[in-house]
Every structure is written in C-alpha cells, then in structure tokens.
C-alpha cells in the first residue's frame, strides 16, 4: 500500500478546512477594517472588470477540464497542476488580494466538482498538497507584488505629503512642455517657499511641522485644476506646474489664491499656527524651454518676492536685468 493511502482521512479534511479558512479570515479582516461599503466598491471597481472576469471564466473552465481529465486516469493530481497556471498569473498581474481570491475560488470549485462527480479519495492527499502549494505560492508572489508597488510608490511620491516627488514631477513636466510646444501654448511654473515655517518648527516641534507640511500639500492640491500638478521640492518648498495655455495673469491669479489660502490659520494638534508663502513664477517658452531652466528662474523670482517683504509673488520677467 502506498504511503498516501495510509494517511488518515481526517488529516486531509483538516488540511482542506485550514486552507479554506485562510481566505475567509482575510475577507473577514478586510471587512472589519474597511467595511462592507468598501468591499462592494472594491468588487465593482477592481474585480468586476472584463480582464478579471475573463480570468475567472478561465479558472472555472479549467476546473471542469481538470475534473473531466480525472475520469481517464487515477493520477488526478497531475491534471490539478493546470489550475496553478492562471492562479499564479493573477497573483503576478494583480497582487495578493485578487490572486488569493482566485486561488480560493479555483481550488474550491475543483474540489467541489471532484466530490460531486463521485470520485474516490484516491490522490486526495496530493491534491490537497497542491492546493496548499497554490495558496502559499499566491501569498508569496502577492507579497512580492505588493512590496514592488510600495517601492514604486516611494520612488515617485513624497512619503510625508503624498505629493509627487521631483522624479515624477520632471517626467510630467517634460511631457506637458512637449505638448505645449506642439500646441504653441504657454506653461507656468510656480516655485513656492513657506514663510515662517522655521518659527513654526521651533515653537511647536518637528512633529507639528510634519503635520503642517501634510496640510500644506492638501491645500495646494485643492488650489489646482485637474490639468495642473504639484510636487514637494524639498523641505518647506513646493513646485507647481500650470498647463493648458496659461497666461501670466492666470498664473498670477493662482499664486494670489495660494498665498491667501496659506495665510489661513493651521489647526495643528499642538496649537494654531500661521504661516505665509512667497512664490516665484516662470513662463514657458518666454523664460525657458526646459524644466530645469524654468525651475531655476522661478526660484530666482521667489527670492525676489522674499526680498519684497514675503507673502507675495513675483514673475521672473520682473527681475532686474544685469
């Protein structure tokens, strides 16, 4: 008698139960942390899409195929490997959550069909071990996928504010400047330095300073149109690009709005703080034809605004010529 036939059936049953419970526990904790509304939204936005539904149908079809092939051979577990291919592929493509869902569905359907068609327990231990391997592979691949996404997010977004960092800003800026060149449009670049930020840090502490930077980022984002974008340049400096045929007057109006917005009190955990903003503006193509030149000239205009008394804006063309 082969070793698999000596394994008690309760072991196989317990293994099945444990593996079936894993996705259910994941679902439970997801609902507990995010709520049913978020689950429904995720199903609609992330799961019920043509490519994911196609993968789902492929897994169901393979489940029928695997069980059908099992009729012709006692070596049922050999065909079960077919299920692993789309399951692992979904983990690589869409990450842990979707991969684990498909692993659960694919394995559960196949095992259900296997039981409904009245097969004996021949090969069930191998099937369960492959089931375990698919779940474990999905988790490991999904975790790598999630970590890759985290690394990617950190490489293009500022960790504190969630705004684009300069790496992403340069790519977006170059693309929009190229578009402006084709359409013969202007682009405005605003260089923003926060006035009074050092005093805020000294008074309330660095934790409050970090909180203020997050709130500044939110206010800047809310000041822009969909076509525009903002990035954290570094420290208490931010940079904005205004696209879509913007004029000097339009750029000045946006800068004035931002200054007004920044002058409103910030309700921090440790108290109420008041700051300001000095802004320099450069215009494509008059002040430069590339992002680095525009940043440099907007920076110069910003320092000119600070010399004028802070909490104001200045165009680069208003700079004195030497």
Each residue's pLDDT, cut to its tens digit, for the chain (322 residues) gives: 444 444 444 444 445 555 556 556 666 766 676 677 766 766 666 666 777 777 777 767 766 676 666 555 555 556 666 666 666 666 666 666 666 666 666 666 666 666 666 554 445 555 555 565 566 556 655 566 565 555 555 568 888 898 999 888 998 999 999 999 999 999 999 999 999 999 999 999 999 999 999 999 999 999 898 889 999 998 999 999 999 888 999 999 999 999 999 999 999 999 999 999 999 999 999 999 999 999 999 999 999 999 998 999 999 987 655 4
Task: List the structure tokens of 244.
Answer: 């879509």
Q: Are 77 and 125 contacting, i.e. CB atoms less than 8 angstroms apart? A: no
Whole-number pLDDT of residue 5? 45
Q: Are 306 and 193 contacting, i.e. CB atoms less than 8 angstroms apart? A: yes
Whole-number pLDDT of residue 32? 73
Task: List the structure tokens of 286.
Answer: 């008059």
Whole-number pLDDT of residue 97? 64
Whole-number pLDDT of residue 91? 65
Whole-number pLDDT of residue 68? 66
CA gap 4, 78 in Å, rounded: 15
CA gap 235, 196 in Å, rounded: 13
pTM: 0.58
Task: List the structure tokens of 25.
Answer: 């526990």
In the block, tokens 């609902």 appear at: 31
CA gap 210, 161 in Å, rounded: 8
With 0-12 / 13-18 / 19 or more C-beta atoms within 10 angstroms meaning exposed / middle / buried, residue 7 is: middle
Whole-number pLDDT of residue 271? 92
End-to-end CA distance of the chain: 97
Q: Are 228 and 219 contacting, i.e. CB atoms less than 8 angstroms apart? A: no
In the block, tokens 């684990």 appear at: 100
Task: List the structure tokens of 81.
Answer: 């490997």
CA gap 312, 252 in Å, rounded: 10
Helix runs in 197-240, H state only: 197-204, 206-222
Give the catalytic positions in this structure: 236
Q: Torsion angle of alpha carbons 290, 293, 298, 301, nearest 10°? A: -140
Residue ranges of domains in the chain, CATH in brackets: 3-156 (no CATH), 166-318 (3.30.70.270)
């Amino acid at each position: 008698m082969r070793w698999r036939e000596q394994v008690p059936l309760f072991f196989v049953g317990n293994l099945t139960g444990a593996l079936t419970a894993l996705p259910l526990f994941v679902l439970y904790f997801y609902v507990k942390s995010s709520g049913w509304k978020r689950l429904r939204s995720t199903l609609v936005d992330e799961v019920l899409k043509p490519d994911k539904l196609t993968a789902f149908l492929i897994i169901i079809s393979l489940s029928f195929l695997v069980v059908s092939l099992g009729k012709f051979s006692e070596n049922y577990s050999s065909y079960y490997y077919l299920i692993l291919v789309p399951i692992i592929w979904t983990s690589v493509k869409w990450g842990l959550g979707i991969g684990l869902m498909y692993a659960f569905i694919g394995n559960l359907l196949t095992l259900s069909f296997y039981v409904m068609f009245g097969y004996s327990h021949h090969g069930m231990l191998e099937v369960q071990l492959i089931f375990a391997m698919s779940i474990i592979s999905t988790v490991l691949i999904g975790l790598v996928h999630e970590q890759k996404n985290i690394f990617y997010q950190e490489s293009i977004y500022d960790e504190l504010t969630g705004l684009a960092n300069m790496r992403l800003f340069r790519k977006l800026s170059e693309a929009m400047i190229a578009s402006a060149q084709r359409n013969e449009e202007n682009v405005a670049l605003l260089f923003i330095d926060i006035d009074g930020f050092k005093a805020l840090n000294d008074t309330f502490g660095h934790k409050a300073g970090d909180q203020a930077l997050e709130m500044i980022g939110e206010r800047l984002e809310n000041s822009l149109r969909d076509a525009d974008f903002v990035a954290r340049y570094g420290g208490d400096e931010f940079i904005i690009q205004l696209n879509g045929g913007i004029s000097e007057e339009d750029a000045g109006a946006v800068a004035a709005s931002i200054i007004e917005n920044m002058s409103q009190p910030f309700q921090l955990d440790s108290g109420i703080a008041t700051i300001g903003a000095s802004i320099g503006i450069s215009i494509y193509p008059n002040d430069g034809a590339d992002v680095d030149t525009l940043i440099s000239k907007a920076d110069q205009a910003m320092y000119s605004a600070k010399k004028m008394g802070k909490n104001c804006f200045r165009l680069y063309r208003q700079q004195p010529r030497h």
